[in-house]
Structure 1
Amino acid sequence: MLPVFLFLLLILLSAADASVQDFCVGDISASDTPAGYPCKDVSHVTTNDFVFKGLGKAGNTSNIIKAAVTPAFVGQFPGVNGLGISAARLDLAPGGVVPLHTHPGGSELLVVTQGMILAGFISSANGVYYTTLHKGDTMVFPQGLLHFQVNAGGVTAVAIVTFSSPNPGLQITAFALFANSLPSALVEKVTFLDDAQVKKLKKVLGGSG
């Protein structure tokens, strides 16, 4: 009876091993989907698919928010496809800010590597959680919640950020409201701002209407 049991066990183990898929490197030449990119043929996968070298270089902060995000999402880093992780580098020049924004597809973990960053988030019950982070400090921002980062010192601040998704998505609240063609009258109704304020913000952020 024992040899039969061992034989069946070997069959089950072999079947289990055969069903394991180590990775699904994204074929970024195809279209992304809610389930991720399709898998690149394993015969075309190389070590480079699992390596990203862009986080060691400072981003360009010469913009309206004096901030730069260098993403290592699936579009830049195909090896994270299907693994539920990704990363980015955040550079904040003095006076820099990442305005209120959300990542609908994943939670965020931020680690400060240089300078000081005032960071926080707002819960769905409108609870406010914020603090000043120093080098080595870490803060988590739950998925989908509005959050922000502000340079809190006189030198450029840098952080490495990781996400619980290969493509966490991004929507910046101010840009969503004022950097598009949503009619000003409608923006005024949904924000309680007056016409002059809305027109000013649309002009600053490049919106119309």
Structure 2
Amino acid sequence: MHSCCAPCAAEVMEAVHASGIQQTVFFYNPNIHPIEEYEIRKNENKRFCDKLGIEFIDADYDKDNWFDRVKGLENEPERGARCTVCFDMRFERTALYAAENGFDLITSTLGISRWKNMEQINDCGVRAADRYDDVRYWTFNWRKKGGAQRMIEISKREEFYQQEYCGCVYSLRDTNRWRQSNGRDRIKRNIKFYGHDKPE
């Protein structure tokens, strides 16, 4: 299972865990910027995996490859062509790992977020899995039946780090522009956590 961050992953991980399906979490997100933010999100995800006894695969942070892939798409909007390229890259690596290590089913936690386009994510996942004869992409809608609400509840219970932008440098740029135009401070990393009334 490709995971983007602990808040998005936790509900999916718990649901799959409760069903008795064996899972491995694959953390491959070279889009996350800067490296300090990447490490925070990765460590939060690993912390929850350790709690549930789920294997956590820490893949490469090959950000240079990511920047090469999205070159020319720097000004694309959220859910636009840059996001498609980003999802393709991350799911291609996930599918490759699955094919090389005997997994026949992959999915991603990205789709549980209301900020993401479910169809866009599923299209990228299916396209990546189709590169291999024995790998399929599970297009389950994790938002349904209260999944999105449980995501927030679990995040508060576990006091996960609460990121305030999607992850990439362009998302950070655009989010800060929006915040400043609305009289808000720029994003400060590693100070906001679910379940805390005020940042520490």
Band the TM-score falls in, shorter-chain normalisation: under 0.3
Report the structure, 1 or 2, having the larger strand content: 1
TM-score normalized with structure 2 length? 0.23
TM-score (norm 1): 0.22
Q: Which structure carries more relative contact order (alpha carbon 8 Å, separation 6+)?
A: 2
Greater helix share, structure number: 2
